[in-house]
Amino acid sequence: MLRRSLGRTGLTVSVPGLGCMGMSEFYGPADEAASRDALAGALDLGYDFLDTADTYGLGHNETLLGRFLAGRRDRVVVATKFGIVRRADSAERRIDNTPAYIASACDASLRRLGLDTIDLYYCHRRNPETPLAETVGAMARLVEQGKVRALGLSEVSPETLRAAHAIHPIAAVQSEYSLWSRGPEDGMLETCRDLGVTFVAYSPLGRGFLTGAIDPDRLAAGDFRKGNPRFQGAALAQNRRLLAGLGAIAERRGATPAQVALAWLVSRAPEVVPIPGARRRARLAENAAAVDLVLTPGEIAELDALFSPGAVAGARYAEGGTAGIEVL
């Protein structure tokens, strides 16, 4: 398994890592037995970078990982997040970056995960109503207290990253990045390189679309992609044309579309660590094998042109889903 540095922490992590969100919600019903099997399969394959958040399943995802990690703590680097506050009885959410909330959220995550220390603790979304110095200062106190090893930010601008890094070293920034979401190429990757910050790419397979293995017309009830603009109407038709081009390249290489998409992402910069989600062992093995696929310069240029900025139709999120995202 390929390994890359986690900022300047001295830690290295597997490439790819594993996004665990889908094991709790958003992509259909949770199946704890299947999730535990997938997690065990991930460790067997060499994955050791597990990504969760307190909001995934309203704490369910952290609890799931906590049960799994018993006796396995020394084999993994665990990342979780705070900041998106939801309630079980409401679809509304708010963004909380206040120091008091950060302290309580960290303690709650530690309990659910069954850990003494979180390896990487992200601010999941930024609320500008709380001064950045207060938010990062509260996160830094968690490091001083031994509750957190390293700090991260999610979906922030390069300017916010530089300002935060000046207050306390930031190990990683997490944002959506894939062939069909290329916003981080507009300054963020360069900023990460300048500061020695790892860029963690979530949804590196376009929420499953780039695998070519899902039928957007047959998504399960409760799958949030049913309301995602890129999976609807004319936008979906355009994006299917792009997927066909990706599939043609994959066929020429004897690979899957997912492997080509991940290989492209890994080639972008040594700071990039994709964390595709997966709930089955077979998908985990497919994704892990992608790092062995070396694309030619011509293939990379072909993919760049096919998925050029503006070619993908539809917004990343439905209206109301962009709160706390600084760069769309």
Burial group, residue 301, by CB count within 10 angstroms (0-12, 13-18, 19+): exposed
Q: Evaluate the CA torsion angle 249, 252, 257, 258 in order and state its sign.
A: negative
pLDDT at residue 328 is higher than 80: no
State the average pLDDT over residues 189-207: 97
Of 47, 56, 122, 202, the catalytic one is 56
pTM of the shown model: 0.95
pLDDT value for 101: 98
State the average pLDDT over residues 228-236: 94
Q: What angle do CA 73, 75, 77 make, to 5 degrees?
A: 80
Percent above pLDDT 70 for the chain: 100
- Whether 56 is a known active-site residue: answer yes
pLDDT value for 323: 83
pLDDT at residue 89 is higher than 80: no
Burial group, residue 232, by CB count within 10 angstroms (0-12, 13-18, 19+): middle
Burial group, residue 59, by CB count within 10 angstroms (0-12, 13-18, 19+): buried
CA dist., res. 151 & res. 206, Å (int): 26
pLDDT value for 221: 79
Q: What is the pLDDT of residues 164-183, one digit of tens each?
A: 999 999 999 999 999 999 99
Where b means 16+ CB within 10 Å and e means fewer, 193-205 reads eebebbbbbbbbb
State the average pLDDT over residues 2-12: 97
Q: What is the pLDDT of residues 259-271, one digit of tens each?
A: 999 999 999 999 9
| Spatial strand order in the sheet of 18-19 | 18-19, 49-51, 77-82, 118-123, 148-154, 172-176, 198-202, 272-274
Strand partners, 84: 95
Q: What is the pLDDT of residues 237-296, one digit of tens each?
A: 999 999 999 999 999 999 999 999 999 999 999 999 999 999 888 899 999 999 999 999
Q: What is the pLDDT of residues 44-78, one digit of tens each?
A: 999 999 999 999 999 999 999 999 999 999 999 99
For the chain, which domains are there? 2-208+268-280 (3.20.20.100)
Q: Over the Cα atoms of the chain, what is R_g?
A: 19
Confidence of residue 321 (pLDDT cuts 50, 70, 90): confident
Q: What is the pLDDT of residues 96-152, one digit of tens each?
A: 999 999 999 999 999 999 999 999 999 999 999 999 999 999 999 999 999 999 999
